């Protein structure tokens, strides 16, 4: 295949060849000791003897109020980031993301996709994270915080054990007194944060002319790095942006517009929240206000955790109940629905059809995107920035007959193309199973799975498949293994 064909089949990947920094990693070989620094109007220090037994490398975050969410003027903000006033109480938070060595020493196993004692643990579900908190608490003689009963979890706020931060605590700690999109003055560079460094903040609007960018494209490492490899935020916390995202306590839901104190999120829900962005995220998805979501039973190669301890015993308990429809995958009639611009996703869809004999539906537009690569780059980022809903040219007949939808798309700007958003909003996916498959040029799913779960929260999300460009010689076996994992019958 000619190089030009390879380039245009995954839209944002062109910059991999044209704008990649040649500078080195600028990563230290070991994690430094965090040194907390107090910004102008906040205090993060521990001048007194702590009232609880606190391990090394935990930082006392003094409570206060802040504006949670993002202002309407923030570039690439989402509608679910409504800005509101929140007050949080004092708490202790680990300066570092939890390492693989720490996880394995307690749980006896290491599920991570990357291997290294000082790398952050990842590929753990929210329920795994909660179970680790309890197990470590018990191993150190602390009172476990959580009671886990299947999908339902309650939180004893008076317990002295380890726990996940609330979403409000996490954002408060990440911001460290700042009100900007990141806790740095500008978009962090690839020399400051481990992320998809080819895509700094606002690259989408400055793709072909980068003179206006505060931060220029840099290195994409394609892996996690040792915790604490870069400098801390103003409060002594490392990797709050990038490396791996971090699970928080809350179910996903709309923010209250009223002033809140120590909010804990909805009492029930479909999706749990994770924050901060990871090694394969664009900068826009590392913003302090960005909210990512996933089913609490699922993990990912770029989601880990950071531990929190109470600074003082809380009162009462918080009980949550999962409301995810647990319809099993693989049952009933199957539909393959896909959007494809350059042909890669179409090829994957046709391979799935060959193996399953399922119905095939191509998502097309009344006003198709340009066939010119440079033009479609601009059209795609424009539609994503505006959260446009392009009008679709055709409809699925009798969508209600399908129990499982295999949904295919290319990774555009680290998310779904907006025709997929139009498709998801056009039908009722309640109780259906969605199995995403995504073609990409290196970013895997980006934040596309979060976008799908937010648009179809009543659907069950099965295991997803990412295919690099057209998949090459392994496409058939990769598709076969994915179908088997999800219980889809083949010919």
In 3-state terms the chain splits into helix, strand, coil percentages (rounded to 5) of 25, 20, 55
Looking at every residue in the chain, the average pLDDT score rounds to: 88
Q: Is the pLDDT of residue 16 over 90?
A: no
Contact 145, 156 (CB under 8 A): yes
Q: Which of 48-62, 83-97, 209-223, 446-460 is the least confident region? A: 48-62
Q: Give the neighbor-by-neighbor strand order of the sheet with 146-149.
A: 146-149, 152-156, 317-322, 268-269
Q: What is residue 186's predicted lDDT score, i.e. its pLDDT?
A: 84
The helix/strand/coil state of 319 is strand
Q: In the structure, what pLDDT confidence band is assigned to residue 47 with cuts at 50, 70 and 90?
A: very low
Find the helix packing angle between 448-455 and 418-426, rounded to 10°: 20
DSSP 70: B
What are the φ/ψ torsions at residue 352 (nearest 5 degrees)? -65, -40
Q: Does domain 10-323 have CATH number 3.30.70.890?
A: no
Residue count (the chain): 491
Q: Which helix (H) or strand (E) holds 3?
A: helix 3-8
Residues 17-38 pLDDT 10s: 233 332 333 333 333 433 333 3
Q: Distance (Å, rounded) from C-alpha 181 to C-alpha 201?
A: 9
The two structure tokens encoding residue 417: 């193309």
Q: Is the pLDDT of residue 9 over 70?
A: no
Residues 150-172 pLDDT 10s: 999 999 999 999 999 999 999 99
Q: Distance (Å, rounded) from C-alpha 122 to C-alpha 137?
A: 20
Q: Is the pLDDT of residue 46 over 80?
A: no
3 state SS for 398-450: CHHHEEEEEEEEECECCECCHHHHHHHHHCCCCCCEEEEEEEECCCCCCCHHH
CA 30 from centre of chain: 26
Which residue in 418, 164, 113 sits closest to 276, CA to CA? Answer: 164
DSSP 467: E
Q: Which of 190-204, 314-328, 345-359 is the least confident region? A: 314-328
Q: Distance (Å, rounded) from C-alpha 232 to C-alpha 274?
A: 20
Q: Distance (Å, rounded) from C-alpha 49 to C-alpha 289?
A: 33
Q: Which of 34-43, 108-117, 174-183, 345-354 is the least confident region? A: 34-43
Q: Distance (Å, rounded) from C-alpha 242 to C-alpha 224?
A: 9
Question: What is the CATH code for 333-485?
Answer: 3.40.50.360
DSSP 362: E
Q: Distance (Å, rounded) from C-alpha 368 to C-alpha 349?
A: 20
Percentage of residues in the chain with pLDDT exceeding 90?
78
The helix/strand/coil state of 473 is helix
Q: Is the pLDDT of residue 2 over 50?
A: no
Do 10-323 and 333-485 come out as alike in CATH topology? Answer: no
Q: What is residue 20's predicted lDDT score, i.e. its pLDDT?
A: 34
Residue ranges per structural domain of the chain: 10-323, 333-485
Contact 98, 307 (CB under 8 A): yes
Written as one string, the DSSP assignment of 278-318 is: -TT--GGGGSTT--EEE-TT---TTEE---EEESS---SEE
Q: In the structure, what pLDDT confidence band is assigned to residue 207 with cuts at 50, 70 and 90?
A: confident
Which residue in the block uniquely carries the two structure tokens 């709309």? 254
Q: Tell me the average pLDDT across 195-218.
A: 91
CB contact burial 268-285 (16+ within 10 A = b; e otherwise)? ebbbbbbbbbbbbbbbbb
DSSP 120: B
CB-based contacts of 38, cutoff 8 Å, min separation 6: 44, 45, 234, 235
Bridge pairing between strands 333-338 and 308-310: unpaired
CB atoms within 10 A of CB 252: 22
Q: Distance (Å, rounded) from C-alpha 126 to C-alpha 297?
A: 6
What are the φ/ψ torsions at residue 136 (nearest 5 degrees)? -70, -40
Q: How far apart are the first and last CA of the chain?
A: 30
Q: Which of 29-38, 229-238, 245-254, 456-465 is the least confident region? A: 29-38
What are the φ/ψ torsions at residue 307 (nearest 5 degrees)? -85, 150
Q: Is the pLDDT of residue 129 over 80?
A: yes
Q: Distance (Å, rounded) from C-alpha 438 to C-alpha 478?
A: 12
The two structure tokens encoding residue 307: 């531990």
Cα dist. 86→105, 313, 417 in Å?
36, 20, 34
């Amino acid at each position: 295949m000619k190089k030009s064909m390879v380039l245009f089949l995954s839209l944002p990947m062109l910059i991999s060849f044209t704008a990649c920094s040649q500078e080195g990693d600028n990563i230290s070989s070991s994690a430094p000791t965090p040194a907390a620094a107090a910004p102008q109007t906040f205090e993060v220090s521990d001048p007194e003897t702590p009232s609880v037994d606190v391990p090394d490398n935990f930082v006392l975050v003094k409570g206060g109020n802040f504006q949670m969410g993002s202002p309407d003027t923030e570039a690439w903000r989402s509608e679910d980031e409504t800005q509101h006033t929140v007050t949080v109480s004092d708490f202790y938070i680990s300066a570092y993301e939890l390492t693989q060595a720490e996880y394995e020493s307690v749980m006896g196993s290491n599920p991570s996709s990357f291997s290294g004692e000082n790398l952050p643990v990842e590929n753990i579900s929210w329920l795994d994270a909660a179970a680790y908190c309890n197990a470590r608490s018990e191993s150190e003689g602390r009172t476990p915080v959580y009671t886990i009963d299947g999908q339902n979890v309650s939180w004893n706020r008076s317990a002295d054990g380890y726990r996940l931060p609330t979403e409000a605590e996490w954002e408060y700690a990440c911001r460290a007194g700042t009100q900007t999109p990141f806790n740095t003055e500008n978009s962090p560079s690839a020399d400051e944060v481990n992320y998809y460094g080819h895509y700094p903040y606002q690259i989408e609007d400055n793709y072909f002319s980068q003179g206006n960018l505060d931060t220029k494209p840099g290195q994409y490492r394609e892996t996690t790095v040792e915790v604490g490899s870069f400098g801390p935020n103003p409060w002594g916390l490392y990797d709050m942006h990038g490396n791996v995202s971090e699970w928080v306590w809350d179910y996903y839901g709309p923010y209250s517009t009223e002033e809140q104190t120590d909010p804990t999120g909805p009492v029930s829900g479909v999706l749990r929240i994770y924050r901060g962005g990871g090694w394969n995220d664009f900068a826009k998805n590392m913003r302090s206000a960005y909210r990512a979501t996933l089913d609490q039973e699922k993990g990912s190669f770029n989601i880990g955790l950071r531990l929190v301890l109470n600074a003082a015993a809380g009162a009462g308990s918080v009980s949550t109940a999962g409301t995810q429809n647990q319809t099993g995958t693989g049952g009933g009639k199957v539909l393959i629905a896909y959007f494809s611009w350059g042909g890669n996703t179409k090829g994957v869809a046709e391979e799935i059809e060959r193996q399953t004999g399922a119905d095939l539906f191509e998502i097309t537009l009344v006003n198709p995107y340009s066939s010119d690569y440079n033009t479609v780059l601009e059209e795609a980022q424009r539609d994503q920035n505006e959260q446009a809903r392009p009008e679709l040219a055709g409809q699925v007949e009798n969508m209600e007959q399908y129990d499982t939808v295999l949904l295919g798309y290319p990774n555009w700007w680290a998310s779904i193309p907006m025709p997929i958003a139009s498709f998801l909003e056009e039908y009722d996916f309640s109780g259906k199973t969605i199995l995403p498959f995504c073609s990409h040029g290196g970013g895997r799913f980006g934040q596309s799975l979060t976008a799908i779960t937010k648009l179809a929260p009543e659907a069950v999300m099965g295991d997803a498949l990412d295919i690099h460009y057209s998949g090459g010689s392994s496409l058939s076996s990769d598709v076969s293994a994915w179908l088997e994992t999800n219980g889809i019958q083949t010919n």
